[in-house]
Structures are given as structure tokens and as C-alpha cells.
């Protein structure tokens, strides 16, 4: 995808499908191209030119691109399930959770390969199920999409995770302490 417009002919809007990768479809010939969200660099739209039919069109950025907060640390702590006690610091604004081929890999046979996505927007996040058979649950209710706040819990497969946002003190070079979950003793 070329972020270029030659100035000839009318500009047309491309249809956009937001998923693990942003895909832009040419409004004229239907050719699909991946576009990295970084290409927007704060702009609300890009000018594109199809490599196949050479038509020009405008690609609008979504209303709000996911973004990690500058100071706080955003993490997921596994509080129940096979990976109990593990903590995953989120390093990307959009993170895929799943059994394999995901940003956060959970060794849970009830979790789909790409089970759900978390899009961080400052100190909150949007949790979205990726069309799984076993579902994604918040407060024992199956969800398609749900807003998460600090200390929100959700379950995928047999794994329950806790969404955390912790402040880093200015000048602190060490990461904040991580949550340690120990097994219960009878």
C-alpha cells in the first residue's frame, strides 16, 4: 500500500477490516493490502493507491487507535488455570491471547489458538472474543466485547486472568512488584 495520491480522479474511501492485522480493500477492484497502524503516525487518514488497478482512495484511521499508557504498567496475571501464577506484561497496544501463534500463549487445551484480543486505551482496555467455540467470559457471562478496568477478571477456557494497571514512580528503573499467586493448601 502506498500512502500517495496523484491528484487525478476522485478520491474514494476504502473499506477497512480491523483485526489482528489491518486490511485495506481497494474500493475499485477489491484487492486487499495490509497496512501498519504506525503509518497513520497521528494522522486521521492516509491517501492510498492500489498496486493492482492504480486507483486512488482515502483510508480513514479508526476513531481511537489502541495505545499503551506512557507511565503505568499494564499486565495480565493468571489467577486460575494451568498457568496459575504467571504474569504477562503487555508490550503492545493490541495483544492476542491464545493456545499457539498468539502474543500471550496459554497452555490450556480449552483455549483456542487465537482466542481473544485486548486493546489497551490508556488505563482501560477492550476485551474481544475472536469467534471462539468455548467463548470468553466476564462475570460468568459470555461476551463478544467488554470494557476492562484495573483488577477486572475474565475467563478463557479453564484460565482466569486479572487485568492490572500499576503506576511506575518517576525515576523508578525497576519494574513494579508482580503479583504472586500460590496454590491453596488443604
Q: Which residue has the higher pLDDT, 127 or 43?
A: 127
| Spatial distance between the Cα atoms of 61 and 71, rounded to a whole number of angstroms | 25
Question: Which pLDDT score, from 0 to 100, does residue 42 have?
Answer: 57
- pLDDT tens figures, 80-117: 999 999 999 998 888 999 999 999 999 999 999 999 99
- pLDDT tens figures, 62-83: 656 566 666 788 999 999 999 9
Beta pairing partners, 118: 95, 127
| pLDDT for 7 beyond 50 | no
Question: Which pLDDT score, from 0 to 100, does residue 112 have?
Answer: 96
Residue 109 backbone dihedrals phi, psi, to 5 degrees: -65, -15
- pLDDT tens figures, 29-63: 888 777 776 676 556 677 888 888 998 888 876 65
| pLDDT for 134 beyond 50 | yes
pLDDT band with cut points at 50, 70 and 90 for residue 20? very low
| Spatial distance between the Cα atoms of 84 and 72, rounded to a whole number of angstroms | 23
CB 56 within 8 A of CB 49: yes
Cell digits of residue 79: 489467577
CB 48 within 8 A of CB 25: no
46 membership: H or E segment, kind and range? strand 45-49
Cell digits of residue 14: 476504502
| pLDDT for 15 beyond 50 | no
The model carries a pTM of 0.58
Amino acid at each position: 500500500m502506498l500512502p500517495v495520491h496523484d491528484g487525478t480522479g476522485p478520491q474514494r474511501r476504502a473499506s477497512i477490516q480491523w483485526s489482528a492485522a489491518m486490511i485495506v480493500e481497494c474500493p475499485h477492484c477489491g484487492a486487499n493490502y495490509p497496512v501498519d497502524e504506525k503509518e497513520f503516525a497521528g494522522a486521521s487518514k492516509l491517501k492510498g493507491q492500489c498496486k493492482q488497478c492504480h486507483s486512488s482512495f482515502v483510508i480513514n484511521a479508526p476513531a481511537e487507535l489502541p495505545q499503551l499508557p506512557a507511565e503505568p504498567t499494564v499486565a495480565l496475571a493468571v489467577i486460575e488455570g494451568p498457568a496459575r501464577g504467571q504474569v504477562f506484561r503487555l508490550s503492545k497496544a493490541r495483544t492476542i491471547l491464545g493456545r499457539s501463534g498468539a502474543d500471550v500463549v496459554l497452555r490450556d487445551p480449552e483455549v483456542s489458538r487465537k482466542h481473544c484480543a485486548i486493546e489497551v486505551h490508556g488505563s482501560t482496555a477492550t476485551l474481544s472474543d475472536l469467534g471462539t467455540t468455548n467463548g470468553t467470559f466476564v462475570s460468568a457471562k459470555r461476551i463478544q466485547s467488554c470494557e476492562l478496568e484495573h483488577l477486572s477478571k475474565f475467563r478463557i477456557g479453564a484460565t482466569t486472568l486479572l487485568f492490572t494497571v500499576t503506576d511506575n514512580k518517576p525515576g523508578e528503573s525497576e519494574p513494579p512488584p508482580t503479583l504472586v499467586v500460590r496454590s491453596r493448601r488443604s
